[in-house]
Amino acid sequence: MFKTIIEPFRIKMIERIRMTTETERRELIAKAGYNVFRLHSDDVLIDLLTDSGTGAMSAKQWAAMMRGDESYAGSPSFYRFEAAVQELMGFPLVIPTHQGRAAERILFSTMCKPGDIVPNNTHFDTTRANVEFAGAKAVDLPCLELADLSSEFPFKGNMDVEGLKALFEKEGRERIPLVMITVTNNSGGGQPVSIANMREVAGVCRAFDRPLYLDACRIAENAYFIKLREPGYAGKLVRDIVREMCDLADGCTMSAKKDAIVNIGGFLATRNADLAQQEQNLLILTEGFPTYGGLAGRDLEAMAVGLHEGMEEDYLQYRITSTGYLGNHLHEAGVPILRPPGGHAIYLDAARFAPHLQPLALPGISLCVELYVVGGIRAVEIGTAMFGKRNVETGEEQPGPRELVRLAIPRRVYTQSHVDYIVEVVEEVFRRREHLKPFRFLEQAPFLRHFTAQYGMVE
């Protein structure tokens, strides 16, 4: 009815943004080895590096933290958290962890052995790293529609069902301990997965007697897209759609730092009691006792409240509409983005943004550097730096599947004027796009290299 997007909350406390100049930022990014991860956060004006743990907690969450019980074992804070997961997602066995990657490490360490294969619609960086650390191979099976980044297909996060069947038939069920679907598909542009696709994937898993797991960190946003786009779901509540998604799965991992809107926390959930016992044993070894899992009681309380708040309809309407506003304005200005807009982020198509830069010239890194220099915006590359492969023996680099730059929107943090500023900065960088410089690696780690790598500008 109205064009203006209003935030469904009021501001109760503010945090100062330190304003910097373009000259200062040019020096700061060079000092950081041209890696935005290495910047000090107070040197950033608008931080779109990630939506993980960067959201603003509500008054109800802060109030709940005050009743956090810090008992080592049997804390009532755990049982309130456990009840929230069981109520909203239906998984009976809940194992808390300090964040999502800890849940991934425990899951894959327990279920995988060297030589195994784990298919996913698209593994994100920590998921892939934990699969590979367990000695298994991470295989991405995105739907064919994702190949056309500019199409308006509504569920580009879907898994390639025929590809999954072919993988089972080629490799055999013994080599595939589980199948995973990431909702929404983060590496695939924050695109949602349809219920229909999940149902087909679950059918394949049943046919080959293998469990289906969800990477559920953005499950509420995925459910809202189903409500908006999938026939038959317009009149359903988001929490009911979430439950329907979970009912198709045997378990999940979740970084609660996304849709549960907390600064730290996650969990692993399952229906398999024997597997849960093994996972709890590993949890005790590296995270903590099963009723705290590396978290304070106050963090468990915040998660319990945040799981409910993240599924509120008015919040999700604002969240998806605001992200879409950013994406649609950039699209109308001619800026190449992955269409349609995702839920938690807008993905700039760096390959089309800077066509004069080949993948091994790291166009996404170049674009991230320029966004910071021009407007103080910190974004993240999801391309060759993050997902390319380096031959350790020869030093030869292979490009990643796509060259994207993600503008991830923290939850309940920035206002509409901040979003308008982001639009202006991206448009200005797009006008200067022919001046984007090639980059190369100077230093890189063997795992998750994009976090700590240092780059050099190629003149």
Q: How many CB atoms lie within 10 A of CB 313?
A: 13
Position of tokens 């279920």? 111
Among 316, 345, 342, CA closest to 47: 345
* 299 HSE (CA, 13 A, CB side): 20
pLDDT at res. 331:
97
Q: How many C-beta atoms surround the C-beta of residue 206 within 10 A? A: 11
Q: What is the pLDDT of residue 396?
A: 87
Identify any residues that bridge with 266 across adjacent strands, giving them in sequence order: 97, 255
134: left (phi over 0), alpha (psi -120 to 50) or beta: alpha
pLDDT in tens, 131-165: 999 999 999 999 999 999 999 999 999 999 999 99
Helical H runs in 257-382?
273-286, 297-309, 313-332, 350-353, 363-375
- For residue 85, give every residue at least 6 positions away whose Cβ sits within 8 Å of its Cβ, in sequence order, or none: 91, 94, 267, 269, 307
**What is the pLDDT at residue 347?**
96
Please state, in angstroms and rounded to a whole number, the distance separating the CA atoms of residues 239 and 259.
12
CA distance 8 to 132: 41
> Which residues of the chain register pLDDT less than 70?
none
Rounded to 10 deg, the angle between the 297-309 and 76-89 helix axes is 20
Sorted by sequence, the CB contacts under 8 Å of residue 87 that are 6+ apart come out as none
The separation between CA 7 and the C-alpha centre of its own chain, rounded to angstroms, equals: 22
pTM comes to 0.94
The 8-class DSSP code of residue 344 comes to S
- Give the per-residue pLDDT at 361: 96
pLDDT per residue over 246-268, tens digit each? 999 999 999 999 999 999 999 99
Residue among 212, 290, 293, 291 nearest 251 (CA): 212
Question: Residue 205: helix, strand or coil by DSSP?
Answer: helix
What pLDDT sits at residue 3? 82
Helix spans in 117-171 (H)? 125-133, 161-171
Residue 353, both tokens: 């943004």
Rg (CA), the chain: 21
- pLDDT score at 447: 84
Specify the pLDDT at position 226: 98
pLDDT the model gives residue 100: 95
| N-terminal to C-terminal alpha carbon distance within the chain | 51
Contact of 452 with 445, CB cutoff 8 Å = yes
